[in-house]
Structure 1
Amino acid sequence: MLTLKENEMKNNAFRRLLAMAAAGAMLTSIAACGSSSGDDTASNGSDSTSLISVNNSEPQNGLIPSDTNEMGGGKVIRYLFEGLVSFDAKGKQHLEVAESITPNEDATKYTIKLKEGWKFTNGEAVTAHSFADTWSFAANVKNAQKTASRFSTIKGYDELQDPNVDPKATLSGLSTPDDYTLVVELNKPDSV
């Protein structure tokens, strides 16, 4: 039986992992967006670089979730992409892409089962590899992502901060035993 403190540590670690997962899911989704047309004008003839805004807030950078750390971009990304979980207006969590998220006893390892059937806009299946690849991309210093530190609790993050790291190097704490299972190992128990 867990003590109140241990249970709180697990819940806090779970929340942080969910935030990382949401960021990874959003990054994964952006890869499928884009135009196959070489034409730089929208169908109405206007420049395709027209501004996007949500709730009177405009993104300051491109809409790559792991490279967005400001409110305007965050609001747009929130409306564009689905994550592992979502939260309703009362703060209640709902599983979205995730079918289940299960921590081990000391909150150093999480097993995330994904629902089958989720697809990118190009029709490609969303899999555990999608998350592992995009989280590693986001964490790798060579990719200069503004929110890379969100992945700092995952094993292998420190190694990806070496300026001489291979740009394709991955987080060692991520594994994909099958297409719909992502295992996340942390460098230490994470109570936040």
Structure 2
Amino acid sequence: MSTPPPTRYPLFSRFLHWLMAILLLGMVILGYYMKSLPMSPVKFQLYSWHKWTGISVLTLVVVRLLWRYTHRLPSLPHSMSVISIWAAKIGHLFLYGLMLAIPITGWLMSSAKGIPTVMFGLYPLPDLISKNKELGNTLVTVHIWLNYALITMVIAHVMAALKHQFIDRDRIFSRITLRFTPEKKT
């Protein structure tokens, strides 16, 4: 007899979800703020922090994907339509894809512009591609548009969560909250 799926995500999944939400929000805000600054040591330091955090996000996304595919997920409510289920799956696929693509394009952009990525100011990461100013400029545009796509997807994700919480009242949002109470056995 197989065990029923959990009613909530494991604590580690929930922690990663909210940690990444905070990091991504901070990265978008920092990205737009530092673009507005004139060239200065402060701007270079902010760019370094942005790159460190981007590589950390990339690492966390990989950890999150490995964890997700090695642990059972809670079932979706039976009240959800087939279209809603597919929309949720496609939405999550896009979110994960963007969380991978954005830091990778940032790293590629730095490599193409000939600006090394040095984690925490101590560990130089290899360039992913050779220096190419034109490609670097193209990657800047791609990086920005991927961020717009991420912002759009996050808004859709939050709106869906709010719909589930306040309209459907199907307790789907409670599966990802950071309550530290143990899951009830049924």
TM > 0.5 fold call: no
When you count helix as a share of all residues, which structure comes out higher? Answer: 2
Question: With structure 1 as the length reference, what TM-score do the two structures score?
Answer: 0.27
Q: What's the TM-score, normalizing by structure 2? A: 0.28
- Identify the structure with bigger relative contact order (alpha carbons < 8 Å, sequence gap 6+): 2
Q: Kindly name which structure, 1 or 2, has the bigger radius of gyration based on alpha carbons.
A: 2
The structure carrying a bigger strand percent of its residues is 1
